[in-house]
Each structure stands twice: as C-alpha cells, then as structure tokens.
Amino acid sequence: MKNFLKTTGISFIAGLAGAALWTSIDNSNPATPIIPSNQEETQFGQFTSNWDSPPSNSYSTNPPISFVEASENSTESVVFIKNFSGSDPRRYSMFDYFFGSGPTQQVSTGSGVIISQDGYIVTNNHVIDRAETIEVVHKKRTYQARLIGTDKNTDIAVLKIEGENLPAIKKGSSKNLKIGEWVIAVGNPFNLTSTVTAGIVSAKERQINILGGDFPLESFIQTDAPINPGNSGGALVNVQGELVGINTAILSRTGSYTGYGFAVPVDIAMKVANDMIQYGEVQKAIPGIDAVEITPELAEEMNIQTLDGVIVTHVVKGGAADKAGLQRNDVITQLGNQPITGMGSFEEALSYYYPGENLPITYTRNGQRQSSNLLLQNLEGGTGVLKREFYSSKLLGAQLEAVNTIEKDRLGISNGIKITGLTRGYLRDLGLRDGFIITQINREPARDPKSVGKYLEEFSGKLLLEGVASNGQPFMQSYNIR
C-alpha cells in the first residue's frame, strides 16, 4: 500500500511538472500559422497571394471580426416607408360610418435607401405600388414623400423628401462584387430601426421570372443574408458599408426567408434612378431583338458547341439589330467587352447603355464568328432622349400612356393607350385592369393620352372600347355611361 501511494504521488508530481514546462514553452513561443513567402496577411486575417491580389474596389474577406463598420456606414441611410392606398378615413363623416361602407384604407410597408443628401430615396416599385400617399420615417421623423418615378422592368422606384444634409449611402460596385464575398442586408421592417443580417453572395446574374413590365430586366444578386418581409427596398452592402444592391425578393414556399434572397445590382438600380431623376423616364437602349437562353436541347438541335450566349429568336424590322445584319438563330456571345453567358448577363450588359450609343456585338452564325455594331435605339425607334407621354387622372383612377414602338410591333397594333398605375376610379369600375391597352374608343383610334383621358372623363352615353388585355388577348366591351 505504501509503495502504491508513493508511486502515485511521484507520477502526479511529474505530471504537474511536465504541464508547467509545456505551458512555459507555449507562452514563450506562441504558435503562428505557416505562411508561404509569397503571401501576406490582410487586416482581417485573410491571406492573399502577391500575384493575384484583388482590385482595390473589390472587397472580399474571410469572416470578419465583426460587421460593425459595415453597419455603422449604412444603417443611418436606410428608411422605413409607408404606402397608403384606398380611401382616406379623414374624408369620411360620421354619416358615412353609420350608413355607408366607411373607410377602407390599406397600409403596406417596406424599406428604402437615401442616395443623396437632398432627399432622393431608392426603393422597390412593389413597395409603393398603387400608393395614394407615401410617408418616409427616418430617425423617428416622418416625411411626406413625392414619387419621382417607377420602373416595373427592374422593380425600382425613386422618392423625394424635403431635407438637407441627409446621410446618403456610399455607393459600391455590383460589377466588381464577387461570389463568396460577405454582404449584409439592411432594412427597416415594421419600423424596427436598422435591422441587419449577414451572409455571402451566392450567385450573380440570376433570373427568377418575377418582374413585370414590358422589358423585364432580371440579373439579380443572390445572397443567403436573410431578407424578410419589410426588408424590400433596403440596402445590400459590402463589409465596408458600400451599397451593392437593393434587396427585392425571396424564394420561399412558406413566405418566410429560407436561404434565397435576391437584390437588384446597384449599378443597374442607380442608372435607372438617375434616368428617372434627370429625364422622368428610364432611357432604355433597345437592340431590336428577342432572345432566349441556350439549353442543352437547343444546343443539340441547332448544333451549337457551347451553352454560353443567347439565341436570337426575332429581329424587329428596321431595328438596331436588323440594320446591323443580325438574323434569327444567330448566337450572341459578346456585347462590348462583356462575354455573354446567358439572358442575365445579356440584359445587364445592355442596361448600362443609352439610345444613340454604338455597341460592338460578337455573334456566331452557322458556327462562324462574326461581329458588327448596334446603333441602339429608344422605345420609339429613334436615338434621342425620350420623355414619357402620359396623362394622370384621379377620376379615372389611372395613368394613361402611349404604347411604345416595340410593343406595337410585338402586339401587331398601330396605336394604343396603356392603362398603368390603376387605383380606385372610373376605369376599374368598368372592369379594366393594369396593363390593358385601349386601341379604339367608339371606333376612333386612341393615340394621345391626354385626349383619351379628357374624353373618358367627360363622356356620357354608349361607350365602345376595343383593345388588347395584358395577356395579349383582344377585347371589345360596350358600356352605357350616365
């Protein structure tokens, strides 16, 4: 027994001595990672090879120490937006409450991003859709907002509030954004000030077929940074707090975030916003073609050796592509210096150009590489700046605008007035819907938005409307207007 205790005691003391010696050695010579001589450590502990360092305007990191810098540089620029639609309760009397239907005002909410010190704000079109009144809440102060413009093709809208020295967000570049780069989504859901979530860029140039408009432009940034209801219109920023996208949508079967969030790239959003601020209308450059993705089935059928590029399916007569010599079944592989991998990159590359600019185009025909130049046109087939022709009417409850040349060609009509921004009013009571095109009124061509609007506001008697529904189907409807 004594020998056992003695042996145990000696072993225990030896163990303590060994541990003390190891601790002393470890503290005097702390472990360091083995770094090849051709690499250096960045401020966040990422290792970047000297011969492949990222450009200064690209910012990729391993998980940063924190997202504090990004949050501090961006949260003050994100606002809460209230969209009031329907009847205003302030217009109702007690008589209406007891003997009428009472007010039916609806309120929807979202987020927005301040892009200038004098109060211009970018948000999503669907956040302010059908709004009769828009309020912006920033730092607990409420502003009445003026709608500058909307674009269904990109789901972007611009608002203006009256203010000075507002915290405009610093803008980054979505072109230089890398897959795998850290980003944070900043929003004000339910007026919860400055909610931030973190994730990475999962993919770029995503098309998910959710946008409306005549020429939907989908080239989304996909991220796993959680984007929940109320975050629409908020900011997607890099780890420096620079704006790289406008949070727009989630892909979910439950309505809650499940790992797939999508943002409009900032380079597209800012071009659209600047156009609306400067011209009142997005200056869309039209190549004069319809195109589709190259699928494995199409590649096999057409004997195409690659899945990169897009296939021309229709050439608008007299359009830019027609004049440049393009034909149906040509495969477009490059626009300017931008290689085309699919419809996402094709539409994004086009979105940065203006009507009247020359765009070099590379394509293949029967396997042979060819090139040409597109003199890009506007929606009316010209090359100048377009001013939108529209007539807004509270009585009609809609905005009327002239149908552009491209849509006339697609629908096979020579003229028409489109119904947009439909709210409560005369046209909705007639059963018309957003996107309907009126081509004739009482057998007379509908050409000018203001003339059509005034006519409908003042008309009484038998009314015959002819046109094309939003799904492309022709319609003819007769009414007795008192």
Catalytic residue annotation: 126, 155, 232
Q: Which helix (H) or strand (E) holds 149?
A: strand 146-151
Q: Is the dihedral of CA 223, 186, 272, 337 positive or negative?
A: negative
CA–centroid distance for 327 within its chain: 31
Helix, strand, or coil here: 137?
Answer: strand
Q: From the CA atom positions of the chain, what is the Rg in Å? A: 29
Nearest-angstrom CA–CA distance, 185 and 190: 15
Whose structure tokens read 């399916």?
Answer: 313
Helix, strand, or coil here: 21?
Answer: helix
Nearest-angstrom CA–CA distance, 185 and 133: 27
CA–centroid distance for 389 within its chain: 24
Helix, strand, or coil here: 2?
Answer: helix
User: What is the tally of helices (H) and strands (E) in the chain?
Assistant: 10, 28
Q: Are 245 and 154 in contact (CB under 8 A)?
A: no
- Residue in 107, 83, 72, 63 with CA at minimum distance from that of residue 194: 72
